[in-house]
Amino acid sequence: MNKRITYLIFGVLLLTLRLIFNFKFELIPGINGGYYPLQVRTLLDTGHLGFSDMPLYFYINAVFVKIVSFFTTIDNNQLIIYTSKILDSILLPLLVIPLYLTNKIIFGNNLTKHFEIFLIGFATLSFSPLILTSDLQKNAFAIPLMLFFIYFLLLFYKNNLKRHIILSAVFIILVGLTHFGVFSISLLILITSLICFYRKKAFFPILGISILGVLLILQFDSNRADRLFNLWNLIFEKPVILQGTLSPPDFVNYVFSYLLIILGVYYIIKRKEVLSSFQVNVLASFLFVVFILSFPLIDLEYAKRFSLLLFIPQIIILFILFDFLNRSMRKMISAMLVLITIASVFLMTGNIKPPSITQDAFQDLKNLEQYISEPDETLIIARHGLEWWTAWQLQTKIGQDKSVNKNINLKYKKIINLVQLNGINQMHPGEKSLFHEPYFPSEQEPIYVSDYFIATELKKEDLKKIEQPAGNNVYKK
């Protein structure tokens, strides 16, 4: 079978599964499923985003919605949701293109037929590409861009042609305009590889790249730029290894990562003569990236996010190591790739991620509209995951309880505390939700009570009891 057909088949399989995951429910699945259509609708209505964020993915969605709206009479809200689901299903499978090019052009297409099938199956159908669906759309879109960046970067290191470094720069900028986390890991890859290839000569390029990277983030999201400056204080706060909450997929991912690290370090130290200088530098770069992303003392929340990107440097390492592995090691790694892929498909299709609320609860939100005369002057406080669909249905400002302080009534004419009673979908079977319902001591009678919600308008005397400072996560329509 033609190798391009193999990549195409796995790309189509991933596309099919993502379509199933996205269209199983009317709403977009996941805690943050409502975030994407809300941002796109706000962009279409006002010309700016409701929340500060890296904007590229939302603009792409908005452009497609605008184009399709000329050819259909479908309701605009429904069109935005359909567009979000379709683009999310299509874009991540495009990763097979840079993977194919990287294998063929950079590493000489030396994989055996069976190992290549196992590796591409892992790249498309393992936990990460299946988890990165619906409420992780920007992460998913950034991954093919990241792989194109890696492809052109390695092509530059191999051939030293100016056009390749220009293309690599274009793609890392596109990554930066898409997703903060993937951009940060791309910068880590770039900086680490520059050190490995150029040693001391890399100092000034790294300094310039670091400054430009921070400025790019600062331009679109100052909160994330601040987080970057305070990273050292946060990244080791709750070490994942001490929390005892590693899921089986994450545990397997860590074991696989450290197996690759051991093999890679062995070949660099003991078998360096069988590797070219290009291979040594690339291998050292990506081994360091894998080590950082799977470091067991990293904070639990960061570790979860990093683990979703581990499969990319893992694949690059396997592209290099394959030629030097003996038959038994190839068989062992092949078995691991197959088992991880099969387990991923089985577990993810058996536990498809639902939306944060049920369809009935979503429809019930609309009943609150009669109590809101000025949506632009109304703030609704709701649980994380509910706030997006609340703003989607009612077109009000929204926030979480941590965004409220005693002076917030000076900004809004009406502040409503929304508590959900029923219709909450469980994201992970058997696990309690991490997100609490907002609570404010109040003697006010609820303005709306149903089987699903209690809505209470907070008065000035209620707000005076609040002590914590407001955060910056209020939605600005």
- The answer to whether 321 and 260 are in contact (CB under 8 A) is yes
The dihedral formed by the CA atoms of 187, 189, 190 and 194, expressed in degrees to the nearest 10: 140
For 106, the token pair is: 């950079």
Let me know how many helices (H) and strands (E) the chain has, helices first: 22, 5
Residues 6+ apart with CB under 8 A from 134: 21, 22, 28, 29, 30, 33, 85, 88, 353
Domain coordinates in residue numbering, the chain:
3-22+89-350, 359-463
pLDDT of residue 392: 95
Chain CA centroid to CA 224, Å: 14
Which backbone phi and psi does 95 adopt, to 5 degrees? -60, -20
The conformation of residue 420, written as its DSSP 8-state character, comes to E
For 249, the token pair is: 């997929």
CB atoms within 10 A of CB 152: 25
| CA–CA gap between residue 41 and residue 28 (Å, rounded) | 14
The CA angle 228-229-233, to the nearest 5 degrees, is 95
Cα distances (Å, whole numbers) of residue 146 to 95, 132, 170, 263, 345: 9, 15, 11, 25, 24
Is the full-model pTM beyond 0.85?
yes
Q: How many CA atoms lie within 13 A of 378 on its CB side?
A: 21
Per-block mean pLDDT, blocks of 10 residues, the chain (477 long): 88 97 95 95 93 93 95 91 96 97 90 93 95 94 97 95 96 95 94 94 91 86 73 75 74 91 91 86 95 88 88 95 89 94 93 93 94 90 92 92 72 89 79 76 87 89 65 49
To the nearest 10 degrees (0 to 180), the angle between helices 113-125 and 311-321 is 170
pLDDT of residue 468: 52
| CA–CA gap between residue 111 and residue 473 (Å, rounded) | 48
| CA–CA gap between residue 220 and residue 80 (Å, rounded) | 23
Chain CA centroid to CA 29, Å: 14
Q: What residues are paired with 453 via a beta bridge?
A: 420
pLDDT of residue 241: 75
| CA–CA gap between residue 36 and residue 402 (Å, rounded) | 22
| Helical H segments across 199-276, by residue range | 203-220, 222-229, 231-234, 240-243, 248-270
- The answer to whether 267 and 223 are in contact (CB under 8 A) is no
pLDDT of residue 409: 65
pLDDT of residue 218: 84
pLDDT of residue 477: 46
Q: What residues are paired with 380 via a beta bridge?
A: 398, 416
Chain CA centroid to CA 133, Å: 9
Q: What is the pLDDT of residues 31-41, one digit of tens each?
A: 999 999 999 99
